[in-house]
Amino acid sequence: MCMAFANAQAICKEEGGDLLEPDACSFPMFRGLSSLQSGQCRDYFVGAFRTPPALNYVTVRGAALPDNFPFWGAGQPSRVSNSGNLQACVQIDRSVMYLLNDDFCTETAGFICQKFI
């Protein structure tokens, strides 16, 4: 199921979790799962975003996602603006070898939830 970031996050929260946080341990596994998925969703939201005008990305639990995180795609995060709409949500992007890309939160993508224990 493909949907905007806020809708995907709401579903995860209804299930008692949140979007999967990208970290050095979980990301390689999630990246592998994403590359095996087939269906209507080309990309997958992960649990990281920024709140403009801030430039720094954080995970859903508030940890920094630095620009030098090793799983950003080339030239990412780009923080592009389009008519006042800013790229502020992070997704795994099939077009950049399933690496992280910042995109518009209103774009639709697949998602995977995780529960924190």
pTM of the model: 0.87
Per-residue pLDDT of the chain in tens (117 residues, 90 and over written 9): 899 999 999 999 999 999 988 876 766 666 666 555 556 788 889 999 999 889 999 999 999 999 999 999 999 999 988 777 899 999 988 888 889 999 999 999 999 888 877
Domains and CATH numbers, the chain: 5-114 (3.10.100.10)
β-strands 44-49, 110-111 pairing: parallel
